[in-house]
Amino acid sequence: MQDFSNNDFLNNLRNIIYDNIRNQQFGVSELADKVGMSRSNLLRKVTKQAGISVSQFIRQVKLEHAMELLRNSASNVSEVAWQTGFSSTSYFIKCFKEVYGYSPGEVANHPVEKTSDKTDQPKKRKLTLVFGIPIIIILAGLIALLLFFQPDEIKNQPDKSIAVLPFKNDSNDSSNIYIINGLMESILNNLQKIEDLRVISRTSVEKYRNSNKTIPEIAKELNVKYFVEGSGQKLGDRIMLHVQLINGQSDSHLWAEQYEENTSDIFKLQQNVSLSIAQTIKAIITPEEEQQIDKIPTQNMIAYDNFLKGLEYFHAGTREGLIMAIRYFKTALVHDPKFARAYADIAISYYYMDILQAEKQFTDSISLYSDKALLYDPELAQSLVARALYYMSDGMFTKAEPYLEKALEYNPNSAFVINFLSDFYTTYIPNSARYLEYALKGIQLDIASNDSSTASFIYLHVSNALIQNGFADDAIYYINKSLSYNANNLYSQYVKAYILFAGSKNMDQTLKLLLEVYEKDTTRMDVLQEVGKMYYFKEDYSNALKYYQRLIDVRETYNMDLFWYEDPKICTVLKETGNVQKADSLMESYLRRAEQDKSIYRDMMLALYYAFEHDNEKVFEHMNLFAKQDNYHYWTVEFTEMDPIFKGVVHTREFEKILEGIKSKFNKRHNRLKTELKKKGLI
């Protein structure tokens, strides 16, 4: 737990939560209303000041009060759970153990030494070290965390990974396959809403639809413990379904059930199957998750039938399939104009139809249908994703972020959302820590569906995310995995050169490897500029110019802005080789772009400009501003000190002090991230 005792804003939130602590319905929206802020603004402010989400903050306050009650009252565990707003005792126990390292029933076995000057102070709102918890409890919690969250212990946690294999159609009528596939997907979606599970994506299991591989073989490929198999058919207005749960390693049956229901009871069928599977695995289901599982998407079965037909076309992955999907989704809306999921999937389909188009045709349609989806179900993950995609299609990336994050809260196992977030935090709003977390989650849920070339790029993404956060050993493991899938992946080859540099700091070796990559394909502008960059860092400006000049020629010939952010290096090379006028012209263009940049690197970009201009005062000003940022990547730390452009200031005490702060913040974040990722079983 973190110390927020000196933060007036967070303490005010804490007091509001205390006033409503028994209210099981008191959540993010209610807290936002109490402080007169929108949900998104509250999320941003709490995340910035506390480093955790609003829901995590609320839960932390509740757990701290729960600890006080357990130590200082006669209430039992169930009573304390109720008194602190947890509607489920099992969920309360799970949350408590995650934070303190032991269950609430074991509090008496972890005595606290009370100090005399604290005994007469009111317990409810006293500020000791962290939200009123005596320091000895914090120490006990830290010791417990050290004991309970060692890597070996994490590996021994119960594996609740599960894959839902494609259901088989028992009917001779192949036209009914969409209903059986719809049942399979709905059960999969329900399981994906349970955070205590790790649920493999539909795309990862689809390749096993007609496979002759055994369950243990598939278990090994997917790295999963449990499998759901199913088969069924629709006869008139009746649905017959057989479902079984299987242990992946032993191929033994753990649970099986036959169902026969009216089509009007299809949602009840899906809910019963999902909950029975989760209970057999002993997954903890929160009240919020159960509420999401129990949600009925539509009361109109004709609407739902059309929706399932559309879903079948949606998963075809073609433009023609998307057109047909939209047609069926719109037909569903004729029968139920309040069908939120149909609105959401229309918006998502339009986004995919537009994604590769230079001229966007469907932005207005995406806006319209995502708006309707949110109107009719603002807590549906697909509604939130649809709205995020509208903002992304319109270039409003900061507005998309809270919708994607909220979608993941409602569907924590959605590979679709996680992969979007991974790309989002590396491409649109750079955040190296989140990029890494989502990239690692993505390969846990969705990798087996991809061919060798795609898998190679997925592992490249993970490796790149790891090295950006300073995990060199893990990065080399995944880059080698990437190359094992596709040895000719030149991206992976040159990224590997830099990962090796992180360990050796050997520029000559790195340059040699980059040249080898470039010689394999001299049309690659990305590799060409990396070679030029390495010569630049070696201050071999004549050789650097040979490569940079070709990049300049291509940019001018084709009117492209390739790698404009590298212009300070290019201009330094031009200046050092006598091309001063060209260098000055390029740098003025660079300055205009840097001033308009919205990323966390804006002030670093401006510091580079003023270093080129030898304006040391401005360099220090912008470097100090950049040092206040967070989530910058490893290469910023690694290369800033050795960058020739900073030669005039790098040995000054002020610059050294700024660099020390940047390095220290990065190292602290690296260590914190390492602990968090190990705790989540991601590394």
What integer pLDDT is reported at residue 117 of this predicted model?
Answer: 41
What integer pLDDT is reported at residue 4 of this predicted model?
Answer: 60
pLDDT band at 7 (very low <50, low <70, confident <90, very high): confident
φ and ψ of 118, to 5 deg: -110, -15
Rounded Cα–Cα distance for residues 308 and 189 (Å): 14
Amino acid, res. 288:
E
Q: Are 548 and 573 in contact (CB under 8 A)?
A: yes
Q: Where are the beta strands (DSSP E) in 248-371?
A: 252-262
Cβ atoms < 10 Å from Cβ of 315: 14
Mean pLDDT of 32-42: 78
Q: Are 607 and 568 in contact (CB under 8 A)?
A: no
What integer pLDDT is reported at residue 654 of this predicted model?
Answer: 96
Alpha helix positions (H), 84-200: 89-100, 135-148, 151-155, 177-192
Q: Are 311 and 185 in contact (CB under 8 A)?
A: yes
Q: What is the pTM of this model?
A: 0.64
Q: Tell which phi-psi region holds residue 506, choosing left (phi > 0), alpha (psi between -120 and 50) or beta.
A: beta
Q: Which tens digits make up the pLDDT trace of 314-369? A: 988 788 999 999 999 999 999 999 999 999 999 999 999 988 676 889 999 999 99
pLDDT score of 130 more than 90: no
φ and ψ of 429, to 5 deg: -130, 90
Average pLDDT, the chain: 87
What integer pLDDT is reported at residue 248 of this predicted model?
Answer: 94
What integer pLDDT is reported at residue 91 of this predicted model?
Answer: 72
What integer pLDDT is reported at residue 87 of this predicted model?
Answer: 65
Q: Are 187 and 166 in contact (CB under 8 A)?
A: no
What integer pLDDT is reported at residue 156 of this predicted model?
Answer: 40
The size of the chain, in residues, is: 683
Q: Where are the beta strands (DSSP E) in 192-319?
A: 198-199, 226-235, 238-247, 252-262
pLDDT score of 301 more than 50: yes
Q: Which tens digits make up the pLDDT trace of 139-189? A: 333 333 333 333 333 334 458 999 999 999 998 888 789 999 999 999 999
What integer pLDDT is reported at residue 617 of this predicted model?
Answer: 96
Q: Which tens digits make up the pLDDT trace of 466-509? A: 999 999 999 999 999 999 989 999 999 999 999 999 999 999 99
Rounded Cα–Cα distance for residues 678 and 683 (Å): 5
Tokens coding 115: 């100090």
Share of the chain above pLDDT 90, in %: 61
Domains annotated for the chain, with CATH where assigned, are 8-148 (1.10.10.60), 161-293 (3.40.50.10070), 301-407 (1.25.40.10), 457-675 (1.25.40.10)
pLDDT score of 294 more than 70: yes
What integer pLDDT is reported at residue 155 of this predicted model?
Answer: 39
Q: Which tens digits make up the pLDDT trace of 195-233? A: 999 999 988 898 899 889 999 999 998 999 999 999 999
pLDDT band at 538 (very low <50, low <70, confident <90, very high): very high
pLDDT score of 588 more than 80: yes
pLDDT band at 561 (very low <50, low <70, confident <90, very high): confident
pLDDT score of 113 more than 50: no
**Among 63-77, 393-407, 444-458, 612-626, where is mean pLDDT lowest?**
444-458
pLDDT score of 616 more than 90: yes
What integer pLDDT is reported at residue 79 of this predicted model?
Answer: 80
Q: Are 164 and 184 in contact (CB under 8 A)?
A: yes
What integer pLDDT is reported at residue 448 of this predicted model?
Answer: 62
